[in-house]
A and B are shown apart, each in its own frame.
Chain A
Amino acid sequence: MTEERVGVYVCHCGHNIAGTVDVEAVAQWAQTLPYVAVARDYRFMCSSLGQELIEKDIKELGLTRVVVAACSPHMHEPTFRGVSARAGLNPYLMEMANIREHASWVHRDDMAAATDKAKALVAGAVRRALELKPLEPFKAAIKETTLVVGGGIAGITAALEIANAGYPVVMVEREPSIGGHMAQLDKTFPTLDCSACILTPKMFDVGTHPNITLLTYSEVEQVDGYVGNFTVRVRKKARKINTDVCTGCGDCWSRCPAKVVDEVFEAGLGYRTAVYRPFPQAVPKYPVIDVESCIYFQKGTCRACEKFCPTGAISFDQEDEVIVLSVGNIVLATGYKTFDPRQIPQYGYGRLANVFTSMEFERMVNAAGPTGGKVVLRDGVTTPKSVGIIHCVGSRDHRFNRYCSATCCMAALKFSHLVKERTNAEVYQFYIDMRASFKDYEEFYVRILDEGAHMVRGRVAEVTDAARQPGEEGKLIIQVEDTLIGRQRRIPVDMVILMVGMEPQEDAVEISHLFGIGCSTAGFFTERHPKLDPVATMTDGIFICGACQGPKDIPESVGQGAATAARVLSLIGQKEVEIEPIRAQIDESRCSGCRVCNTMCPYSAIDYIEELGVSRVNPALCKGCGTCVAACPSQVITGQHFTYEAIMAQIEGLLYDVRSGNGHKTVAEPQPVEVA
């Protein structure tokens, strides 16, 4: 039996750890632990000098185990495994003790306690390291196809970048057309580019690209597998249109007698028919029949569209289709929804006719929208003489969303310009703080000020039609404390626009569960690292871009879309990925074949081998979650890297200074395993 030799490396992390934990004392103390051959502290273990220090020790002192007491393994486990591997030590014999998040950061005001806790964590890690066994990572080929979920500007950018590099992409979009929110907008700030003009060529490219398969009116139902090898089930909802023969001529929707308010594309400001194409530049060009509002589906008669369709493309009995995809990477670009201002009843939305949401106003000023671009009141004819624009509706508000929605200040300034341009009305902006960061935004703000917008700093108390003084009759009165002059003001206007904030999609939490990624309590998807890894997630092979990760404007969404493409392409370029070998393993000689584990496994990764009467883990499907390990009544399932021995040793190490009532040590001395 060879003597084990453990190296312990205590990181200062600048002031992050050393400011609270006496790192030198921890290192000196660690030197006294059994089997520890060397213990050192260093300012930044993750720096190249720190890494070289460990490498040199492994080679020169013949270390057989390495313990790095530093930050979370989420941060630097790959770094130090790499160090071990380079020095010829199996990387799975490196163990991290998290003395930053688990000690220094949470015990800032108590150096002695933080130092004691760091010692315990190091002791646990040393004991655990002694029980670790060398493992070899699996290699798996990466499928070249990428799934992009969501066809807004972020998803479109990601899909085109990947497809242009020569790799296949499948895009899944819930709505009948791609385009997302950007397709609804009239102009984009600060350049006042026509939104549709710059978006539709990209939509067309997605629709015609030889490498892109477009599945619109479709939703992902199930996701299995791991990076490089995902199996995804997609439900393609029945369009009730045979797209093989449909030409998109429009005879069906021009004859459809069912008119309903279009809550999606027209944001509730316009109508659509039951068979409809959301907008003229829709991709694909085919309409869908909305079964909920179709007279034939609801009452059994009508079929007007069928009668008038010149190519016989109406297909009332078309069924949903389930498509199973095999993809290597997944890009989520599922976007956002807007805040429902009816939650703030004092702003009168839904009650006072001339209170509009910002999305309604986007459709109103759009030349292709319900009013043909005319700015009018709810009656459809009257031009407003004064317009009040209320910022931060549902944002920066402790009752709803504490965050800033980032885009509304600039959009409100854009509205100011459009109102002036089309009606010459007076415009009042009610803001808390103006946020005009990023290139050319501040300049745009100054331009709008020069155009004569009235800026009132203060959160609006209420919008009311209860006139109180002369001049208020028939108007909407905005009651606000103008915090710059320190007075209450009542400003009568004809029209009010509520700049509603951005929120995660209604089903964002379910989507995050479906794809196995994290999301905040609000529902925005969580990136792997907020600064250094903003488009990856904690799940390898799944990336996020656009407003599903947090409020964002178009350029930022495009930037993220392209970033996800770069990440996906770099993985595809590697041809294969290394997968953690942390799997459950059944000792078949001791398995009783009770099959408890079969039903417990959340990934259906355990098969029962009939002829042998035992269960067996399929390592390709196993995620190493440990459920079966805990469930096995015979204790014959081992979680590799998390064996009973390793866990018990770690606990004993953590409790090294706990003594029983009679003063005897409660835990046994370490029993090292033999080095292979």
Chain B
Amino acid sequence: MTAPNGQYAYYPGCSLKASASAYERSAMAVLERLELRFVEIDDWNCCGATEYFSLNRLPAYSLVARNLALAAAQPTHELVAPCSACYLNLRKTDDHMRQEPKLKEQVNRALAAGGLHYEPGTLRVRHLLDVIIDDVGYEAIAAKVTRPLAGLRVAPYYGCLVVRPFESDDPEYPTHMDRLLEVLGATVVDFPMKAHCCGGHMTQISEDTAFELIRRILHNAAAYQADVIVTVCPMCQLNLDAYQGNVNRRFGTAFNLPVLYFTQMMGLAFGLQPEALGIGSELVPAQAALNKIGQVPAETPRHTPKRRDKDALPMPSRQRR
């Protein structure tokens, strides 16, 4: 289901204008190919990220609600955020204002100082991944693929924020992006850590905690011989990419796993130039891995128990009854 007038209100969030500019570049390039119209909301502000809510509830909600009020002024009710933290905060604020009349009243009193007002429920807050999969659909995406990502082993990493209020997929073991990457022609590895936490801003508070969380994810992707980790969130990308060296030093590991955005993978499959997708700005260089596209991958022994066909018991299908 596409937005009624084919238009979406777009909330980029701070990261997409700075550390994750590659995400925005690639997203805009892909959206153009998919003929989706995103209109950036005027004069938006930071969503408060993951911390502010734990410190001071009312200003945190008001900060987010200001963006909702601005977005509601646009001629569409679909608000899209590409960053998982922004998505969660916008969504959470809308939900909580709807459920708690007192909060709604307090937040609106704060917004009134700037001449704004937000009626919860006005907007439908969505993540970019959800828009691309639900509104565009696998078939339409497949039709745009000109350079399939054949030969590339990818680990789909959803992170923990996007899956929580995500109606159309399983929050514990999501598979939406897996299918999307398969449509793009990549080989998707089983990735049990796909919805585990990357540590978020714990890197600033407790390296012990954060680096262990990052290590687990990298370790798991490496165990499945992934060439690339694909993310939907600037926070996840930053942690896995920027702290990979720290993790290697601390644990004596030698991970060399580039971390890219799903929009970059889409762009590559659509035949766009890597530079136009911001590829090259990542800290663990992706080029070596991307050179594999189109090559037949070397036969890699899968991490499965040894199997003798004659005696093996049938494996249950993955399909639910």
Residues of A within 8 A of B (CB): 261, 268-271, 340, 342-346, 348-351, 353-354, 357, 360, 364, 370-371, 376-382, 462, 464-468, 474
Contact = CB atoms under 8 A, between A and B. Distances in A.
Interface in B293-319: 303-308, 310-319
A378 B314 CA distance: 8
Interface residues of B, number: 28
Contacts of B173: 345-346
A378 B305 contact: yes
- For chain B, what secondary structure do more than half of its interface residues adopt (helix, strand, loop), or is it mixed? loop
Contact of A380 (B170, B308, B316): B308
Contacts, number: 82
A350 B317 contact: yes
B219 A468 contact: yes
> Which of A343, A345, A351 is packed against the most chain B CB atoms within 10 Å?
A345
Nearest to B304: A353
B58 interface: no
Contacts of A378: 305, 307, 312-313, 315
B316 A465 contact: no
A-B pairs, 7 with minimum CB distance: A380-B311, A345-B173, A466-B192, A346-B172, A350-B318, A466-B220, A464-B192
A353 B305 CA distance: 8
A350 B318 CA distance: 5
A34 to B, nearest CB: 52
Nearest to B195: A346
B193 interface: yes
> Which of B173, B192, B304, B320 is packed against the most chain A CB atoms within 10 Å?
B192
B321 interface: yes
A271 B307 CA distance: 17
Given A353-B305, A379-B308, A467 B320 contact: no
A351 B216 CA distance: 20
A270 B312 CA distance: 10
A349 B306 contact: no
B190 interface: yes
B303 A342 contact: no
Nearest to B194: A466
Nearest to A342: B320
Nearest to A468: B216
Contact of B315 (A344, A353, A357, A466): A353
Contact of B305 (A269, A343, A346, A379): A379
Given A268-B316, A269-B314, A466 B216 contact: yes
A342 B220 CA distance: 22
A89 to B, nearest CB: 57
B223 interface: yes
B220 A350 contact: no
14 contacts: A268-B314, A270-B313, A340-B320, A340-B321, A342-B320, A342-B321, A343-B320, A345-B170, A353-B304, A354-B305, A376-B313, A381-B311, A466-B192, A467-B219
Nearest to B190: A351
B313 A382 contact: no
Nearest to B220: A466
B312 A379 contact: yes
A370 B219 contact: no
Nearest to A364: B313
Given A345-B170, A349-B316, 8 more contacts: A270-B314, A340-B321, A342-B319, A350-B317, A350-B319, A376-B313, A379-B312, A380-B313
Interface in B194-220: 216, 219-220
Contact of B313 (A343, A350, A351, A370): A370
Contacts of A345: 170, 172-173
B314 A351 contact: no
Interface string B167-190: 000101100000000000000001
> Which of B220, B316, B321 is packed against the most chain A CB atoms within 10 Å?
B316
A371 B193 CA distance: 33
Contacts of A474: 303, 305
B318 A342 contact: yes
